[in-house]
Amino acid sequence: MDNLTHSLVGLTAARAGLERLSPGAGAVCILAANAPDVDVAILLVGDRWTYLHHHRGITHALVGVAVLALLVPLLVYGIDRLWARFRHQPAKTRFWGLILASVIATATHPLLDWTNNYGIRFFLPWSSKWSYGDLVYIIDPYIWLLLGGTCFLLSAKTKGGKVIWGAVAAVLTALVIISPRAAGLPSFFVVFWVAAIVFLIVLFVLGVGSKLGRKLAFNALWIVGIYWVALSFFHTEALIKGIEHADTIVKPNGETISRKAAMPTLANPFRWDYVFETDRATYRFPVVLGEDNSAPPRVIRYEKPSGPLAEVVNKVSQDRPVQIFLGFARFPVARLADPNCTTTTLLQLADLRYTEPGSRRGTFTLEQPVDCPTSIEGGR
């Protein structure tokens, strides 16, 4: 998940009661909830492929999360003691309170990351197997509204706090309405977002945050859990509907389905991307719950590498970027930019759960310069 979501989860958990464990526990919750993403520092010494290889790596695995859950409160506790000694005052923080708050907040990070389709490797360094929840889109504005609204009602008590939360709401609203990603939002969502912002302002004026206090934060976290349960139900329905379409697609070709997944889309729990692999090709098509099953979906299909394409893929399979990309990609597909080339061309790779070859979507695609296949050159 994005770091705003992780921060809101940490702050909501703090407001739900963890901040009472020790002075400074609120800050520890926010830091600990984001701590596993310290792996972004690898960009200081490596390229994007180094980052792709290590992101959601050891710092997100069970062993790394355990270390970070202890390291964050130790740093905060140590800084507090040093500051107290410098000022000749007693330390304010309580060691075990910080530890407990950090353990709980840090544990939320791999759980949240597991819920989306990017995946996580829980058992590094012993196993590099990816695990995918496929429930929540990697950015979920509904969670922003629920947890952000809760934190706003509980935290905007000063003039500065109101300004900060107002700025956050303005930035997020601009992203929802005018950003390039807004084009992919369902038509109802913009109206829903604006109505929700107005509703939160009304609740703030009525003093709901002051009246409910910790209960509001605790219930917000429960509602996130209920939301996940609802998405799990929709996910199951998408898998059922998807396999029905997939069977009708592959039966005429005599193909056998080996792997499949239904993956969430931005802000629309009724629309899913269904991706599956057969012995001959990889496919993707949309699944819309509640629509007529008889309507054929728009299907994207990529043949598995064979002939000249397989020759090129085999030649570059040991190249570092290709190795890293294929180790990450869940549904890798490939094509040659110019299948009729005479000297050199580009091998275009993509992970079909996100995009298609040649789309230039960051680390989800790769274009590798290659010599033209000998089978093409020899036929000229």
Q: pLDDT by residue (tens digit) across 259-275?
A: 999 999 999 999 999 99
E-strand stretches of the chain: 257-265, 268-278, 281-288, 300-303, 332-336, 344-351, 365-371
Q: Do 179 and 278 reside in the same domain of the chain?
A: no
Task: Please indicate, yes or no, whether residues 313 and 373 belong to a single structural domain of this protein.
Answer: yes
Residues 6+ apart with CB under 8 A from 37: 3, 6, 59, 109
Which of 296, 321, 336 lies at the terminal end of a domain, its last residue?
A: 296
Mean pLDDT, rounded, of the chain: 91
Q: Which of residues 296, 330, 350 is at a domain's end?
A: 296
Other C-beta atoms lying within 10 Å of the C-beta of residue 56: 21
The C-alpha atoms of residue 140 and residue 5 are separated, in whole angstroms, by: 8
83 and 100 in a single domain? The answer is yes
If asked whether residues 123 and 157 sit together in one domain, one would say yes
Do residues 129 and 265 both lie within one domain?
no
- pLDDT for 380 equals 36
Q: Structurally, how many domains does the chain consist of?
A: 3
User: 121 and 50 in one domain?
Assistant: yes
At residue 190 the predicted structure's pLDDT band, cuts being 50, 70 and 90, is confident
Residue 379, token pair as written in the block: 């036929």
Map 74-104 to HEC letters. HHHHHHHHHHHHHCCCCCCCCHHHHHHHHHH
- Residues 244, 326 within the same domain: no
Task: Tell me, yes or no, whether 103 and 219 share the same domain.
Answer: yes
**120 and 162 fall within a common domain:** yes
Whether pTM exceeds 0.85: yes
**% residues pLDDT > 70 (the chain):** 95
Whether residues 215 and 243 fall in one domain: no
101 with 46, same domain?
yes
State the pLDDT at residue 179.
66
49-59 pLDDT, tens digit each: 999 899 999 99
Rounded Cα distance between 317 and 330, Å, is 16
Indicate whether 222 and 177 sit together in one domain: yes
Q: Look at strands 257-265 and 268-278 and give their pairing.
A: antiparallel
Domain boundary among 245, 269, 296: 296
Domain residues for the domain of 256 are 232-296
